[in-house]
Amino acid sequence: MSGAVLATPEVAVSVARHAADLLRLGWAGHLAMVGGGALGGKPLSSLGGRARPQVEALEAAAHELDAGRPISAATSARFAQAVLTPGLYRAIGQLGWVVDAARRGGLTQLWRRPFPAATAR
């Protein structure tokens, strides 16, 4: 693995754009982000510099839309910048599983193997 976050929003954006075309709605561009779970539903203003690219992109998008222009590719790319490095994002996600299991009393079951190991044929 290259260390890159594998999930990408391209499919969802393509579906949304296609739906807008089919419904004859205008397409004003998009702001999509991978790894948004790292924000934890917190306001961007509470995250300090970690969310600076997203805050700046939202401001740019507002100006572009207010001027009657679609959201530019540069603004979309700025918004899509990762809040955390891919490795840190995965590590925090893994830690989240462990903490959640501990809270629910299932910590010791995380490493259990209820099925026999597969054998090569």
Higher per-residue confidence, 36 vs 18: 18
- The residues near 77 (Cβ < 8 Å, ≥ 6 apart) are none
Give whole-number Cα distances, 68 to 39, 55, 77, in Å.
30, 20, 20
If we measure between CA atoms, which residue out of 66, 65, 4, 61 comes closest to residue 32? 61
Report yes or no on whether pTM surpasses 0.85: no
Residue 48 reports pLDDT greater than 50: yes
pLDDT at 121: 66
Segment 51-85, tens digit of pLDDT: 889 999 999 999 999 999 999 999 999 999 888 88
Residues 14-21, mean pLDDT to the nearest whole number = 93
Determine how many CB atoms are found less than 10 A away from the CB of residue 121.
3
